[in-house]
Structure formats: C-alpha cells, structure tokens
Structure 1
Amino acid sequence: MATTAMTSAYGRVLRLPGALAFSVSGLVARMPMSMVSLGIVLLVSTRNGSYSLAGTVSAAFLVANASFAILQARLIDRLGQSRVLPTAALGFAGGLLALMLFVELDLPAPWPHLAAAAAGATLPQIGSSIRARWSHLVEDKRDLPRTPSPEGTQAAEPC
C-alpha cells in the first residue's frame, strides 16, 4: 500500500514539465563520479605496474574535486547552469585526455597528478544542478515524494 502511494507520488512529480528529461540526464551525468577514480587506478597501474602511483593520481583527482565542488556550485548559482556546465565539461574532458596522454607517454610525476587534478577540479557538479532544478520546478515541497524516516516520521526524498 505504501509502495503504491510512493510510486504514484514519483509518477506525479516526474510528469511535471521537463522533470523526466533532467532526471534521466542527471542519472547518466552522475556516472563518472564513481567510475573515474577506478578508471584512473586501472589505467595507471596497468601502464606502469605501480598501484602506489595509481593511488596518488586518483587521490589528486578526488582531492581536487572535493576542493573545487563548492566553488563550482556557487558559480552555477551565480552565472547559471548553461554558462558553467559546458565549460566545466570541456575542462573535465581536457583533463582526462591529458591524463591519458601523460600516462601513455610515461611522463613522470607530477604530470599525471596535475592532469588528474585538473579533471577533478572541473568535474561538472550535476547533483547541485539537479537539486536547483527540482527547487525551481516544485514550488510546494510537500509535493515531493516522501520516505519514512527511522523515527517513523515522513522525510523528503533527496534528489
């Protein structure tokens, strides 16, 4: 019974104009968040046999992402998604291409680390962009699907 109510609530919200399109796009766009660091470890360790170097290059990506995510989200709020996200996506792609090139050319540290940091710093912040779209689209937050919290009260489903 509760599952049917939740499903209908999701259906109602996803029928709002544009909601399904940006939700599916957001799902696809979030995939690199978990896979890039694994890809970096696999690429670097396969090419030079060093898990130590692979771990530090992956860490450079993750630390740069954590360091610049809030700044990028603020820029998105200030300048708009259409101005920031394409630039970030180009920077992200350029950083990853440089990383792959540097690893293939067997360039020494810090070159792979710098390329990984550039990619991490420019990883498009899709989560904050999707949340902003939901906030704009759904004026009454009571319309968002709710899930039971551990205390038995209703909590809004995170976007």
Structure 2
Amino acid sequence: MNCGGSVSIPATSELADLILRAARRLRAAHAAALDGLPVNPHQAHALRAIARLEPARPSQVAGRLRVARGSATEVIDTLEAGGWVARTPDPSDGRATLLSLTPSGRDLLARVAQARDRGAEGILGGLSPQERATLTEALTPLTTPDPQA
C-alpha cells in the first residue's frame, strides 16, 4: 500500500508467489502442530481422506493424496499398524478391500483437526475479522470444488 491510500496491484506472478508463500507457512505450521501426535502430515492427510470417503478403496485414497497407489498403500499400512484404520473385504468385489477408521482412528482424527486449528491460528490469528472476511472473499473464487481434495 502506498502513502496515498491506494493499493498497488502486484503482477500476477507476484500474487501467485505470495499465495504460495502463505500456503507454505500454513503447511509448516500444521506440521509443527502435529508434533507429539503419532502421525506425520502425509499420514494425517490420508486419515482425513479415508474419513471423507469412508468406506474407501485404497485407489481412491491414492487419488485424494495425488500419489501412486503403492505410496498410498505404505501410508495405509502404517495407519492400519497403528490401529487407526481397518481393512475389510468389499462385499461387491471380493478382490478389493475397503478402508474405514477405527474408533481410535476417529479419536486421532479429532486430535489432528485440533492441531491443524492451532497451526492455522498461529498464522492467521493476527488477522482482524475484517481481514479474514476479505481474504475469504478473495480466495473463495480461486477454489473450485476439487474431487481429489
């Protein structure tokens, strides 16, 4: 903003860089907020994806995570070993399995959500209600529903 009160308009690439820097700060804050929980950010993302799709096929989770099926399987295996995800046979396709959260997985998901809120508050907490409303209004048109999110 300049001294005359008008807003300078950044180049599109500068604005994109600003948004990316903000997103990196949010991701770092979320990762730091997960410290002390038994999952890393990628595993937490997988846990949220399974909860959204439940019951989910591993291939659907891979799509949500935007990773190869093998990479998703590794994360799912870790979540299953932790007792947070259960695999069951798909009743409509005996060759396939379905994933669902266990009760302890639901508890962990709630703790992950609280941690994400704390991380976001650490970055966004300094914004006034008006700034939050303005930011929401500006970013909402840029976010189209993404079936992979």
Instruction: Give TM-score, length-normalised by structure 2.
Output: 0.35
Larger helix proportion, structure 1 or 2?
1
Larger strand proportion, structure 1 or 2?
2
